[in-house]
Structure 1
Amino acid sequence: MPKGKRKGRSDRNGRHHENGGGSLNSSEDESYNLDNASVASNFSDATAEDPDDGAALADDQMEEKLGELIDGMAQKSSQGRVNCQEQLVKAFVKKYMPGFIKERYFTICDCIERSLKKGGGAEKAAAAELATVICVQLGNDDSTEEIYKLLKPVLLTMMCDTSVAANIRAKCCTALSNMTFLSGCEIGDVIHLMQQLESIFSASYLKGDGSVPIVSAEMAVLHAAAISSWSLLLTLVNPADIDAVVNSNAKRMSLEKLSELLESIHLEVRMSAGEALALVYELGRNNDEDFEEDFAMDITETLKQLATDSHKYRAKKDRKQQRATFRDILQFIESDTVPEIQVKFGKEVLVLDTWTRRKQYDTLCNILGPSINIHLTENELLRDIFEIVGPPPTTEIPTYAQNQMERNRKVIKLVP
């Protein structure tokens, strides 16, 4: 099979290129008013001297509102708790403020844990999403690992509990894998979680007689989430260990089993499986360029069929999405070529030229949405993951810590 230029990788990291109250007597009233006038004058002077004062006041108001939302997560109303969690997610996605969160993360985690254990479906889903976002915010700080250790048991229990609704289990799969990826935990924990995830999506493997199992749309969403989560964790595995990981359990996990998922009737399962196979081959070939070469030839025909699928019983949008994805996968399996994608943010450019980097970037995009550019600029964790050279720029968008220091300086000015 033709070979293209081999790509390198570095665990979960990628590469980037830079472009660089009572009454008062009259005398007291007069004194009071004069004092106030003095303070007001000082305040006006400080404001005139510092054009960022309005931004600092806006930050104060925002922090007060966020504090109310955090308090609201402990209210009696379930819907009220959900609303507060959802609003916090939106705020923490739009603005990088790890200092604010670190001062309150134990309170936030306590509320998340209660919601996961006792809340309804919507509350569990909102809590799982909030847990992921605060881990993105806190990044490499030790508190991220503490959050992971605190919330992992309840998330893992719900993920594996068949009595829990499939959509909530899917949320737990995603949240737990994301938190595992972000917290930088031990590789043994990563492998164990991958095995738990495989036990979930194995229900979409072919039956003993080779027939495709009947899986409901709801369960397909769960299986796809489990496969996608497994793939994210795979990016943390050393290339030298890929063969052992893929074939860690001869009775279950193997490339053959993973490829069976390509025959699923559900688009999300097929696409997640294709991505997983691409990642396996990319990492495997980084260690051995002839990694599972015979099997690659065996699945090429299946990949070609998926890349050219024109069955009318599939929705047009689904066919288009599937063909585009599997064309890229087929091209990589055959010639080691990965279409290069450039992400511009500010004056910097992030290059996604491996399946590992694409997977990690897509995961963070699903968490942060359009605000990912803000985090690529300011968030030290994301800059570390993608090996973006240099400290986060601070000249255009003040960070939370800078605003805190600025407000402290203003307080000193206002003291008579």
Structure 2
Amino acid sequence: PPHPPAGGRNGVKGESGASDDDLASDVLSHYSSASESASVLEEGTGGGEPVDDQTAQEETEDKLKQCIDNLMDKSAKTRLAALESLRGAFSSRLLYDFLMERRLTISDCLERSLRKGGGEEQAAAATVCAQLCVQLGGGDEGEEGFKILRPVLSTIMIDNGASVVARQSCARALGMCCYVSAAEDGEDLVKSMSHLESVFTASYPNREGALPIPKAGASGLHSAALHAWALLVTLCPASRLTMLLDLHLPKLQACLESSDVNYRIAVGETIALLVELARDLDRFELEDSDTLCECLKGLATDGNKHRAKNDRRKQRSIFREVLHYIENEDFTEEKIRFGVEGIYIDSWMRRRVYDAFKEVLESGVRHHLQFNPLLRDIFGLGAPLILDASIKASKISRFEKHLFNSAAFKARTKIRNKVRDKRADVM
């Protein structure tokens, strides 16, 4: 049987004291005991176990209901603790049925936290927005929720007066929510991309070709916005893509000289992704690739002593891959294992999509790859594997109506297939 996730906290980072709140750890310890029901249901023929599992499920849902109530509390500390609890729960377990009934309440609470909370509360609420979209799976409900939340996420992200940590979290959430839940017409996609661009293009060189001196925290924000934008570029039709390449590749190349190592890496990965998408069009010729390759070689062999040793190592490793890809069209493949399955990350596009889900779901990404129809659809895995009849009987069957309801995937699947061409007219 699959092992339950290690550790009661299930990989949720304790970034604030409030996230260690009793309720938070309580909910999470329930998740880790109930999340892979195989261990609970081994003795499926015995009378007691499924009832115990049912009880655990009910207790967990009661605690989640309490968390949702706490999102409306007057105390900011209580609201933040509730958001951290939900973040851990949404990461470690599928809650489709539970959330479908409460999605409007939760969306209202998240919107209120985004509009009125302090920086830390806004950052946590944005992350939970992204997780909610992943839980609901990109159907009409997700689309409806995104229509409400997109303007709020964008407003905070582009507000120079807002906290950097909140802006960064909103950039990441905007990318993920749009990727999963944007409407077919392309309007949400265009608006989200242009807001993200307005953030990271602040790092672009000025008319004289000099890079601006980044303000404190700006590089992390620019990296988050660039990564989110790169995720959305993978949804663009060919005509739009060609325009984006002409506009952004030369400027991004200049940003390889940025003083921040993580931003340089984000830029390098984005350049590789853009070149890969362009090569798929068969009508793209990389201009001045010699200068680009020279620059990449410098970063791939950077021995600059004033950089931290770890930074140098991380940078060299990524830029060796980028250079190798630009020169030879060769990608270093990686396998991600979960349960008895695995997926191959065999392109820059697939890596960007996987990394985006990992940023939002943290350590729960493998659980979602195993059981969440949205991720399984995106990575071409088919229906969740059912390894034990007793699990099927008591657990996954609740979920099957969602799994086989193709309407729920209408928005997302179309985005990924025909719409790339259809959208060419809209965009």
The alignment's TM-score, normalised by the length of structure 2, stands at 0.79
1:67 deviation in Å?
A: 0.6
Aligned to 1:275: 269
Compared with structure 1, are the counterparts of its residues 271 and 195 closer, same or farther at alpha carbon in structure 2 (3 Å cutoff)? same
Aligned to 2:190: 191
Compared with structure 1, are the counterparts of its residues 106 and 307 closer, same or farther at alpha carbon in structure 2 (3 Å cutoff)? same
Query: Conserved in 2, the CA contact under 8 Å of 1:132 and 1:175?
Result: yes
Instruction: Select 2:162's aligned residue among 164, 176, 199.
Output: 164
Aligned to 2:319: 326
Compared with structure 1, are the counterparts of its residues 305 and 279 closer, same or farther at alpha carbon in structure 2 (3 Å cutoff)? same
Aligned to 2:171: 173
Aligned to 2:301: 308
| Stretch of structure 1 that moved more, 383-392 or 290-299 | 290-299
State the one-letter code of the partner of 1:172.
C
Query: Conserved in 1, the CA contact under 8 Å of 2:199 and 2:222?
Result: yes
1:373 counterpart = 2:366: yes
State the one-letter code of the partner of 1:280.
L
1:298 deviation in Å?
A: 2.4
Matches within 5 A, 1:333-348: 333-348=326-341
Aligned to 1:151: 149
Compared with structure 1, are the counterparts of its residues 96 and 400 closer, same or farther at alpha carbon in structure 2 (3 Å cutoff)? farther
Mapped to 2, the partners of 1:159 and 1:51 lie a distance apart of 48
State the one-letter code of the partner of 2:230.
S
The percent identity for this pair of structures is 39
Mapped to 1, the partners of 2:398 and 2:188 lie a distance apart of 38
Query: Conserved in 2, the CA contact under 8 Å of 1:166 and 1:219?
Result: yes
State the one-letter code of the partner of 1:370.
S
Mapped to 2, the partners of 1:177 and 1:224 lie a distance apart of 12
Mapped to 2, the partners of 1:404 and 1:335 lie a distance apart of 44
**Does the residue aligned with 1:349 lie in a helix, a strand or coil?**
strand
Query: Conserved in 1, the CA contact under 8 Å of 2:120 and 2:165?
Result: no
Query: Conserved in 2, the CA contact under 8 Å of 1:278 and 1:355?
Result: yes
Instruction: Select 1:137's aligned residue among 114, 135, 138.
Output: 135
**Does the residue aligned with 1:217 lie in a helix, a strand or coil?**
coil
**Does the residue aligned with 1:103 lie in a helix, a strand or coil?**
helix
Aligned to 1:263: 257
State the one-letter code of the partner of 2:105.
T
Aligned to 1:74: 72
Aligned to 1:212: 211
Aligned to 2:292: 299
Mapped to 2, the partners of 1:94 and 1:318 lie a distance apart of 31
State the one-letter code of the partner of 2:244.
V
Query: Conserved in 2, the CA contact under 8 Å of 1:380 and 1:392?
Result: no
| Stretch of structure 1 that moved more, 194-203 or 182-191 | 182-191
**Does the residue aligned with 1:343 lie in a helix, a strand or coil?**
strand
Q: 1:248-298 deviations in whole A, cap 9, x for unaligned?
A: xxxxx331112111111011211111111111100100012x623333232
Unaligned runs of at least 5 residues, structure 2: 1-43, 401-427
State the one-letter code of the partner of 1:352.
I
Q: 1:52-85 deviations in whole A, cap 9, x for unaligned?
A: 2111111011011111111111111011001001
Greater RCO structure (CA 8 Å; 6+ sep): 1
Compared with structure 1, are the counterparts of its residues 329 and 200 closer, same or farther at alpha carbon in structure 2 (3 Å cutoff)? same
Compared with structure 1, are the counterparts of its residues 117 and 184 closer, same or farther at alpha carbon in structure 2 (3 Å cutoff)? closer
Matches within 5 A, 1:36-55: 49=47, 51-55=49-53
Query: Conserved in 1, the CA contact under 8 Å of 2:123 and 2:167?
Result: no
State the one-letter code of the partner of 1:272.
A
Aligned to 2:386: 393
| Stretch of structure 1 that moved more, 396-405 or 342-351 | 396-405
Compared with structure 1, are the counterparts of its residues 240 and 352 closer, same or farther at alpha carbon in structure 2 (3 Å cutoff)? farther
Matches within 5 A, 1:82-93: 82-93=80-91
1:287 counterpart = 2:258: no
**Does the residue aligned with 2:287 lie in a helix, a strand or coil?**
helix
Query: Conserved in 1, the CA contact under 8 Å of 2:272 and 2:325?
Result: yes
1:387 deviation in Å?
A: 1.0
| Stretch of structure 1 that moved more, 350-359 or 211-220 | 211-220
Query: Conserved in 1, the CA contact under 8 Å of 2:370 and 2:384?
Result: no
Q: 1:159-197 deviations in whole A, cap 9, x for unaligned?
A: 112221222211111111110011143334223322221
Compared with structure 1, are the counterparts of its residues 57 and 198 closer, same or farther at alpha carbon in structure 2 (3 Å cutoff)? same
Compared with structure 1, are the counterparts of its residues 89 and 150 closer, same or farther at alpha carbon in structure 2 (3 Å cutoff)? same
Aligned to 2:403: none
1:117 deviation in Å?
A: 0.6
**Does the residue aligned with 1:327 lie in a helix, a strand or coil?**
helix
Aligned to 1:63: 61
Query: Conserved in 1, the CA contact under 8 Å of 2:211 and 2:255?
Result: no
- Alpha carbon RMSD of aligned pairs, Å? 2.1
Compared with structure 1, are the counterparts of its residues 244 and 281 closer, same or farther at alpha carbon in structure 2 (3 Å cutoff)? same
State the one-letter code of the partner of 2:75.
S
Aligned to 1:364: 357
**Does the residue aligned with 1:209 lie in a helix, a strand or coil?**
coil
1:389 deviation in Å?
A: 2.7
Query: Conserved in 1, the CA contact under 8 Å of 2:226 and 2:266?
Result: yes
Aligned to 1:109: 107
Unaligned runs of at least 5 residues, structure 1: 1-45, 248-252, 406-416
Aligned to 1:39: none
